[in-house]
Amino acid sequence: MALTVWGIVAVLKGNVSGSAIVPAFARCCSVHCALTSALTPRLALLLTLPPLLWAGNAVVGRAMVGSVPPLALNAMRWWLALALLLPLGWRALREPAQIASRWKHFALLGLLGVGSYNALQYLAVQTSTPLNVTLIAASSPLWMLLVGLLFYRERPSARQLLGAALSLAGVLLVISRGSLAALREVHLVPGDLFMLLAVLLWAGYSWMLARPPAHLRDAARPAWNWAEFLLVQMLFGTAWATLAAAAEAPLASVSIHWTPAVAAALLYVAIGPSLIAYRAWGLGVATVGPTVATFFANLTPVFAGLLSAALLGEAPRWYHAAAFALIAAGIVVSALGARRR
């Protein structure tokens, strides 16, 4: 709770390292984009916030199976998030020419980050198990490094590869509950393909945040703050999510059953995993780069285990601490590898 409150204040103020943080669009207009900035304790704490909120999102997504169609849940989530962000970012709408001149970039950002990732995750949990989904999501550092190599000519260092291995080992430890037998029981289902696609698209989204196209790095870029930049991104993403929900409607086998629990879940996924987590993630990616930031995402299964302990009364086990240590080691090793390049 304390981390969440601190994160809300930090992302609203845009202050992580003691100086004002400019929005991601402006921050990344430099070719180097400060991608090897020091991973300060405050920045590390901020990057810990998204996986904490995303762990709650996975729990809520599974709980909503049978109550809300997955793509409808995603669309409603982003419409509510958009309405909540509007009072902070509405000034961006006064510059339609700036939006129109960059509409392809924002449309792709919206599709990859807002419109696709969570929709695919909600689809994945319809048929896949939490074990499979978490296992596939745990491969995100590897895909992030691969996308950077193929499309941005960023060769991963030996330290980054070692960090990826340590982080993946930590995730495997927690999702297997310390038993290799659990991993042998994994069977691929259609939902796993949805999650794999989600991870690939998220890697592309993160790199686009860190490295916008060259023609957008000019002096004429809009002087938007973080809320205005995120609002424009969400406008396009929500449009994609709405189209997907409309296509799903005639085929959906579940109708929406409104209850106080469903309303509370929708409010949570709109505020926490959407507004706060996306702001914190964008800020972290713009500062240290996607290949370092992505290692923090592997804290999600650890937090999911801790949330289960807190909400369901399940006692924490030794493998939670061991997994956290391995993932933290992966983060440190990867950050050192990025800074020494």
Please tell me the distance from the alpha carbon of residue 129 to that of residue 126, in angstroms, as a whole number.
8
Q: Is 18 left (phi over 0), alpha (psi -120 to 50) or beta?
A: left
- Residue 247 in any domain: the answer is yes
- Give me the mean pLDDT over the 77-86 stretch: 95
User: Which carries the bigger pLDDT value, residue 17 or residue 329?
Assistant: 329
- Residue 253 in any domain: the answer is yes
User: Which carries the bigger pLDDT value, residue 23 or residue 154?
Assistant: 154
* 3-state SS class at 207: helix
Please tell me the distance from the alpha carbon of residue 284 to that of residue 42, in angstroms, as a whole number.
11
- Residue 308 in any domain: the answer is no
- What's residue 21's pLDDT? 35
- pLDDT band at residue 7 using 50, 70 and 90 as cut-offs: low
- Residue 5 in any domain: the answer is no
Q: How many residues does the chain have?
A: 341
Residue 207: CB atoms within 10 A of its CB come to 21
Please report, rounded to a whole number, the percentage of residues in the chain having pLDDT higher than 90.
Answer: 22
- Residue 7 in any domain: the answer is no
Tell me: the pLDDT tens digits for 14-50?
Answer: 544 433 333 444 444 333 344 445 678 888 888 999 9
- What's residue 14's pLDDT? 52
- Residue 120 in any domain: the answer is yes
Tell me: the pLDDT tens digits for 220-277?
Answer: 566 788 889 899 999 999 999 999 999 998 887 788 888 999 999 999 999 999 999 9
Please report, rounded to a whole number, the percentage of residues in the chain having pLDDT higher than 70.
Answer: 77
- Residue 276 in any domain: the answer is yes
- Residue 220 in any domain: the answer is yes
pTM value?
A: 0.76
Number of domains the chain contains:
1
Please tell me the distance from the alpha carbon of residue 274 to that of residue 81, in angstroms, as a whole number.
7
- What's residue 236's pLDDT? 96
Please tell me the distance from the alpha carbon of residue 205 to that of residue 217, in angstroms, as a whole number.
17
Q: Which domain holds residue 250?
A: 67-154+183-288
Highest mean pLDDT among 12-16, 60-64, 95-99: 95-99
